[in-house]
Amino acid sequence: MKKALLAATASLGLLATGCATYQSVVPVDRGDHIAAAQPADGTLFCVISNPVGNAYMDALRDSIQARGFEFKVLPPGASIASCPYTATFVAQRQSYWRDFLSSAEIVVYIGGDRAGKANYDALRSAGGLNLSNLVVPEAKIEELVDQLLPGMRPKQSTTGTAGAPAAPPSSATPA
C-alpha cells in the first residue's frame, strides 16, 4: 500500500514539474540614461494599440496609473517616440472553463529607445499539468508591470482605510 501511494505521489510530482508557462522580463534599466527619465506624478505613458485589439488593456492602464503616470492609448502605427514613455502591448485571452490570459507582450520605450520587455505565454508548456488558467489575468499583468518597472511601485493611498472607524477625540481632563 505504501509503495502504491509513493508511486502515485511521485507520478503526480513528475506531472506537476513538467508544467511550465513561459515568462521572461528584461526590466527597464535603472542606469544613468533611464534614471534621468524617472517619472514625476503625471508623466505621460502612452500605449500603442494593437490593430486587432487587446485583452486586459484596463488592467495595464490601472497598473501604469497606480505608479503615478498619466495613461493614454495611441492608435496603431503611432510613433514609439510620441510620448516620454511609450509601450506596445499585445495580450490575448482564452477561455476553457473561465477566461485567462494566454499570452502577453509589453515592450517599453523611453524617448524612443527600447528600455525593457516582458513576455508571458501560458500555452507554452513542457507538457504535464498546466494550471496557468487559474492565475487572475489582472494580477499577472500587475506582476509583469512590477517586474518591468522595478522601483516604480504603486503609490500608497493617503485617504486611509475605507470603512475604518474614526479615532475618538482626545479628551484630556485635569484630575
Contact 152, 48 (CB under 8 A): no
**pLDDT single digits (tens) 69-91:** 999 999 999 999 999 999 999 98
Nearest Cα neighbor of 42 from 96, 85, 90 is 85
**pLDDT single digits (tens) 27-50:** 997 554 444 455 666 789 999 988
User: For the whole model, what pTM was predicted?
Assistant: 0.70
Nearest Cα neighbor of 56 from 88, 104, 95 is 104
Comparison of pLDDT for 23 and 13, the residue scoring more: 23
Residue 128 has pLDDT above 70, yes or no: no
Comparison of pLDDT for 166 and 102, the residue scoring more: 102
Q: Model confidence at 116, in pLDDT bands (50, 70, 90)?
A: very high
Do you know the residue count of the chain? Answer: 175
User: What's the CA gap between 55 and 133, in Å, rounded?
Assistant: 15
